[in-house]
Structure 1
Amino acid sequence: MANGRNGYLLMGGIASVGAGAVHFMAAGMHTEHATLARLMVVLAAVQCATGLAVLLSERKLVVTSMLAVNAFAAAMWVFTRFADVPWIAGLTAESPQVADTVCAALGALAAVAGGIGLLRPTATVPPMRSGIAAAAVGVLALAAMLNGVGHVHSHGDTGDHAHAAGEEHAHGEDHGTDPAWPRPWDPTEPIDLSGVSGVNADQQARATDLVRRTLDGLPAFADVNSVGALGFRSIGDSATGYEHYINMGYIRDSNFLDPAHPESLVYRVDGTDRTLVSAMYIANGKKIDDPSLVDFGGSLMQWHVHDNLCWKAGDNGPVVAGVLDAQGNCPPNSINPGSGNPMVHVWIAPHQCGPFAALEGHGAGQASADGRRTDTCGHGDHSGGHR
């Protein structure tokens, strides 16, 4: 090149290095999925290597390698916005975030620039413009990495831990559960579900991914005044300190453990204020011992049913009227339909009993034939009526 470097290849090489840098950062955010993290490191290394190679050489083989790896990376990003990759734990469909979107955009830019550079090998760019382009890509990649780090450490409600210590009453019996579980949960800290006996790597990976996806997706429902338009209706249990909103359409659909379609939302009650603290996922048409439930997260997650709740008709749908009394009777004008579809909580707010903790009380629900729960960790009475 007599008058300078090929401008397209210069841009492509810089973009590839930027995409690789963001991927290196992302790998560190997915260490709970060892295989996925390793694959991301390899992809990042190849993107950086091929990008640097193109900056040093404009040989066709070098450029083609950069184009191929970045086209693959961008295509995988598009695919995983809509579908899971089942043979790689943690590589599941999720909504676009700033960091991964920038990473994919840089990869796509590298691929397109490489392709144009191959078709127009004589296209040059002045040194000043190449410097501006390099700086722009560098700033974009740095901003994406900073946003990614901030995103991981910004989930949840950290302002009030009182409910975890005082309002969530738990069974005091010794049920022989692992002393490592449950343990206090703080969504501002890295997700750590490790060290629980009997939980295999796949179960840990699935449970961790569910927590991560819930932290990412559930805040879309934070405004309790807007969820009615989506089909959510209160079951009228705000007197317990927590209010459940259920969505019958989501209960009947085929989505499973999907933060974009949570069957029930749990809000902490403070006068007229409502703070979203948990999703309550409901498995429609399944039994509590269904392998797809039991094996999903193993003993990390506690699926349960409510077989002692009494319901009555409300203005906007069924509402809780109370619980069965000692004689097995409901309050007047209400019925007990028996145990229904299994459900499990995932908390986006701090909780002393972990991210899958139960809402405790007399109406807490049963997790097995003998009523034992493994998602409780404190001592106290059960007069609160929480679920």
Structure 2
Amino acid sequence: MFKSLRSWAAALFILNIACSSSEPEPTGPRPGDFVEGWPQRVDDQPVQFVPLAAGGVVGRGQPYVNSRNVRGWVDLVRYTVGEEGLSQTVLLDGAVATQGSIGRDAQDRILTAVGSVEGSFWLKVCRLLASEGTRDPTFGDGGCVSFTDMHYGNTDNVIALPSGGVLVSMSGGGASLVQLTSTGALDSGFGTHGIMKGLGRVGSLAAQSDGRVLVSAPGKLVRMFSSGALDPSFGQGGEIPAVDGVLHVGADDAFIAQRGGSLFAYLADGTPDVTFGTNGTVNIQDVTETTINPFWIRSFTRDAAGRIYVTAGFGTEASGFGGLLVRLTPSGTLDPQFQLRTEEGSHISMVGPALAVGADGKVWTMLCFDPNTQNAKSLVLIHP
């Protein structure tokens, strides 16, 4: 009897240890969970988000392009989350618009640009105080500056420079790059009177902390000095061939470029970062084990910890479309802690190119969960 009692006591003791040492059930949101009350339908279908230090993001839609390559304008919308939920505000009631990508400078000011490829020739660049919803009076004439001296073309990208200046890329006209000073004047120290021609269509722009600029030109990635001169110390004589996609520069000036379904990581001087993936390259289709083709990256961005968020799409009408959002570690491996969780029985049928990490670390993007309405994506806010 005593032996039996001792056995039961030992069993209870072991059970108590097992229960006390087991992992507690997770409480609160997990990485990849949607913020409560999301996804949400929005008035516009943004294709780019720019995060604001003050909170929220500014988004812009996709402009219409007609058969003559005349590109329309789109409004800028600020999305914020408060106690009453999502707020959508058209900046300046639509008085300022953009044609291509928008930019943000270190003072949280938003940069926009519009141009023309037919009729009257002009270029207009504006700088906005996004948190106040007003133009920046220190830039140009009341926040905007216009030029009518040449056939500029459609605007594609606009970025802020460490000097406080602005760099604009254009296509369909006579200018490839236009650089302005911090007050909005053409920068006479860049190119020829602030203008550079002959680069072809520029896919992406990114500035490093010392003022040198990465330019994604057709078939190559080049780095320029602030004067516009090619930097021969970069890559192979100033360029990296066969890399011409979207760029993201980190705080240490190392950068990631995207082409096709892969990401390529480089050190600040343009040499491959061999600590990233395989010899500096990560194929997103391979690491996610996606077997459906075609496969394409829609967008990518990095957070303050160097983790990389990637959205991608895949499939055809015959096979059905799908999409994904994943997070990579700084070394390029799939982060198992981040798991996007959708409602039971639903899946992502399409992802949009708008993707940003907000000041609070939450992820903003556009996703579609209904295969019959692929163009009607919902705004999603996700816990990191």
Under a length normalisation based on structure 2, what TM-score does the superposition of the two structures give?
0.23
Higher strand share: 2
Higher helix share: 1
By relative contact order (CA 8 Å, sep 6+), the higher-ranking structure is 1
Under a length normalisation based on structure 1, what TM-score does the superposition of the two structures give?
0.23
